[in-house]
Amino acid sequence: MEDSNSRTPILDLAPQKGFGRIRAALDDLKAGFRLLPLAVALGWLDIKLRYRGSVLGPFWLTLSTAIMTAAMGVVYGYLFHMDLPHYLPFLSLSIVLWGYVSGVINDAATAFTQSTSLFHARRIPATLPVIRLIVRNVLMLLHNVVVIAVVFGIYHIWPKQSWSLLLSVPLWLLDSFSIILLIGMLGARFRDIAPIMASLLQIFFFVTPVIWKPDLIYAGRQYLLLDPFYPIIEVMRGPLMGYEVRPVLWYAAIGQGILLWAAAAALFCRMRARIPYWI
Amino acid sequence: MPSIVVDQLRIDFPLYHGQSRSLKRHVGDRLSSLRPGSPAAHLVQDGRERTIVSVLQDISFSLAPGERLGLIGRNGAGKTTLLRSLAGIYEPVHGRVRLEGSIGTLLDSSLGMNVELTGRENIRLFALHGGLSKQQTAQLDQDVEAFADLGSYMDMPVKAYSSGMTVRLAFGLATAMTPQILLMDEWFLAGDGAFMNKARERLEAMVQHADILVISTHQPDIMRKWCTRVIWLENGKIRMDGPPDEVLEVYLTA
């Protein structure tokens, strides 16, 4: 494959089998991370372009999240009989986290098809669009963190147990990578994946304890574990809000991550070279 | 030493019919193989209409430094696909492609540029792709600006460019880094006369550095001027391979 250590680069391509495929996939991964500055620039330009010419620029993201938090806070706070000082910090954190999750999954289905012109212009590592997408969504998340900071500031709340971020942030990033790779490949081959993902996310937004607190459910809360989004959201949100996260949720979240990586790695090793043929 | 070796290259393209590409078809095929006679069994017959187009078959050739190869052939003969597989975009379905040396590509007319971005921003992305340092990026920027001669258009979105301007920018970019191997599709001929002269100067300078050029074009005079060897592709196979005058004589009378 591409060997950049020697003085002249060598591109040697032939159909791969077995270990050759794994090596080719790892080479692709390495090449993708070597182009990290490009992925960062592309991800940032994606956001900048979307808001080029608008007055607020990317802070439209912040503003719309703020408005959504305020509106939902008032309505659902009333419906759930919750007082705002307790509910609003929870809600702002939840909405911002869910915004990242749904952003990643929605974009994932078009991760490769969106980069068609990049793929057709020259050889690029298939992991480059994946990293670009993570960068884009992380940057969007950072714009929204402002909303959390303001709400926490208003109610004089400080994030608890922030040490847990050392575990949950890497887990989120690793999961993002594998899920974008997985859904991206499926989405490049089957064009139905994008609408399927969009409607699933809509359902899970209400089914998952995003706008409602998980302790509102007493009977049958073990069924919540069947919700694929619940553990991953909870291990990030719970410690920050200062409530106890059951160990089973951590196991579930880590187990999910391992499964996602196994599936993504298997599919990527097998289908990596086919991606340009599909898009 | 830059070189290209292509050995028994085959490229097949799955042509998914509008519907067979959907998940419904795919699942239907799987289900019906389990339960023959079910309504889904009907889908199989349709599903099997999925044709695999064999774009390139049994292509073998090798190029040494200094060789300038022209690809000729009718539309759909596989010229662009061959260029893309040389660039490593389409990996071989069968056979082998081996390139030694840095590769420059002028394949996609937009060069993978984002038309919403300005010329300068696109140059920066291109530099990042090549892993250039800040200094090299600045040099690239100057070099391309001087060659493309876009003036104040450099800081305008590429979508505001005329097609000739886009070509000048793309050509300037792809040749600024002096790749050892240049792969070029025919679209670049969209430039005007003055540009063509400039492009030829730049290309000729490059080829003098014992580099390899592979170009696909419909224009015989370009081929006579620029190439030392011509491969005539027909239906994905090599019909003829030889010096330009020899091949073109047969090709033009065929």
Give residue-wise pLDDT tens across range A56-82: 888 888 999 999 999 999 998 888 888
**A37: chain B residues, CB-CB within 8 Å:** 128
The answer as to whether A111 is a domain residue is yes
Tokens 């033009």 identify what position? B252
Would the CB atoms of B90 and A38 count as touching at under 8 Å? no
- Calculate mean pLDDT across residues B72-99: 89
| pLDDT (average), residues B39-52 | 48
Q: How many CA atoms lie within 13 A of A171 on its CB side?
A: 21
Determine the average pLDDT of the residues in A47-55. Answer: 84
- b/e per residue A218-248 (b: at least 16 CB within 10 A): eeeeeebeebebbbbbbbbbbbbbeeebeee
pLDDT at A139: 94
C-alpha closest to that of B183 among B97, B124, B244, B76:
B97
Cα Rg of chain B, angstroms: 22
Structure confidence at residue B205 (pLDDT) = 75
**Is residue A183 over pLDDT 80?**
yes
Q: The whole model's pTM is what?
A: 0.85
Least Cα separation, residue B12 to chain A (angstroms): 9
Contact B115, B157 (CB under 8 A): yes
* pLDDT more than 90, % of chain A: 46
Interatomic CA distance for residues A216 and B152, integer angstroms: 61
pLDDT for residue A186 is more than 90: yes
Q: Of B48, B43, B39, whose CA–CA distance to B24 is shortest?
A: B43
> What is d(CA B171, CA B189) in angstroms, rounded to the nearest whole number?
10
Mean pLDDT value of segment A151-169: 86
φ/ψ of residue A224, rounded to 5: -60, -25
Q: CA–CA separation, A29 vs A23, rounded Å? A: 10
More confident residue, B151 or B112: B151
The CA-atom distances, in angstroms, between B79 and each of B84, B85, B238 are 9, 10, 11
Q: What is the pLDDT of residue A83?
A: 85
- Report if residue A11 sits inside a domain: no
Spatial separation of the C-alpha atoms in residues A204 and B237, rounded to whole Å: 52
Report chain B's mean pLDDT, rounded to a whole number: 80
Residue A133's pLDDT is what? 94
Provide, as residue numbers in chain A, all residues whose Cβ is less than 8 Å from the Cβ of B112: 117-118, 120-122
Out of A5-14, A234-243, B245-254, pick the least confident: A5-14
**Residue B91 DSSP code:** P
pLDDT at residue A134 is higher than 90: yes
Cβ contacts of B177 within 8 Å, gap of 6 or more: B102, B104, B130, B140
Instruction: Give residue limits of the domains in chain B.
Output: 3-12+62-253
Closest in A42, A49, A119 to B89, CB measured = A119
Looking at residue B192, what DSSP letter applies? -
Under an 8 A CB cutoff, do A8 and B100 touch?
yes
Taking residues A173-194, report their average pLDDT: 92
- As a whole number, the mean pLDDT across chain A is 88
Q: How many CA atoms lie within 13 A of B151 on its CB side?
A: 1
**B115-154 pLDDT, tens per residue?**
888 888 888 888 888 878 888 888 888 888 888 888 888 8
In a domain, A1, yes or no: no
Please answer whether residues A184 and A32 qualify as being in contact, where contact means their C-beta atoms are separated by less than 8 angstroms.
no
Domain that holds residue A78: 19-278
Number of H helices, E strands in chain B: 9, 9
Give CA–CA dist B226/B70, Å, rounded: 8
User: Which of the residue ranges B95-104, B109-118, B144-153 has the most confident prediction, judged by mean pLDDT?
Assistant: B95-104
* Over residues B109-114, mean pLDDT: 74
Residue B26 is inside which H or E element, if any? helix B23-34
* Two tokens, residue B107: 């394949």
Does residue A251 form part of some domain? yes
> CA B245, B247, B253 angle in degrees (round to 5)?
100
Between CA B201 and CA B199 the distance in angstroms is 5
Work out the average pLDDT over B79-88.
Answer: 90
pLDDT of residue B23: 64
Domain count, chain A: 1
Confidence check on the interface: ipTM exceeds 0.90, yes or no: no
What is the CATH architecture of B3-12+62-253?
3-Layer(aba) Sandwich (3.40)
> pLDDT tens digits, residue range A11-41?
888 888 888 888 989 999 999 999 899 999 9
- Who has greater pLDDT, B18 or B248? B248
Cα-to-chain-centroid distance, residue B33 = 40
User: How many angstroms separate the most distant Cα atoms in chain A?
Assistant: 69
Residue B49 pLDDT: 52
Instruction: Return the SS3 of B212.
Output: strand
Kindly indicate the confidence band of residue A4, based on its pLDDT and cuts at 50, 70 and 90. very low
Q: Give the closest residue to B91 by CA, choosing from B190, B10, B152.
A: B10
* Residue A1 pLDDT greater than 50, yes or no: no
pLDDT at A6 > cutoff 80: no
Share of chain B above pLDDT 70, in %: 80
Task: Give the CA distances from residue B160 to residues A17, B156, B164, in Å, rounded to whole numbers and listed in that order.
Answer: 46, 7, 12
Chain B residues touching A196 at Cβ < 8 A:
23
Residue A12 lies in a domain: no
Tell me: the pLDDT tens digits for B151-187? 888 888 888 888 788 888 888 887 777 788 888 887 6
Find, in chain A, the residue whose alpha carbon is nearest to that of B116.
A49
Q: Identify the residue among B90, B105, B110, B173 best suited for mutation to test binding to A, counting A beta carbons within 10 A and taking the highest.
A: B90
pLDDT at B40 over 70: no
- Which of the pair, B87 or A16, is modelled with greater confidence? B87
Q: How many helices (H) and strands (E) does chain A have?
A: 11, 1
Judged against a pLDDT cut of 80, whether residue A230 lies above it is answered with yes
Give helix A165-189 / helix A230-241 axis angle, nearest 10°: 150
Rounded distance between C-alpha atoms, residue B186 and residue B77, angstroms: 14
Q: CA A75, CA B226: separation in Å to the nearest integer?
A: 72
CA distances from A127 to A40, B111, B132, B179 (A): 13, 20, 20, 24
> Which pLDDT score is estimated for B253?
85
Is A44 a member of any domain?
Answer: yes
Residues of A with CB under 8 A from a CB of B: 8-15, 34-35, 37-38, 41-42, 45, 49, 52, 117-124, 189-193, 196, 273, 276-277
Tokens 């065929």, located at residue: B254
Q: Identify from A8, A10, A11 which residue to disrupt to test chain B contact, counting B C-beta atoms within 10 A and taking the largest count.
A: A11
Name the more confident of A171 and B116. Answer: A171
Nearest to A127 by CA among A223, A264, A252: A264
Is residue B103 scored above 70 in pLDDT?
Answer: yes
Q: Which of A145-154, A246-255, B28-37, B98-107 has the lowest mean pLDDT?
A: B28-37
CB contact (8 A) between residue A15 and residue B92: yes
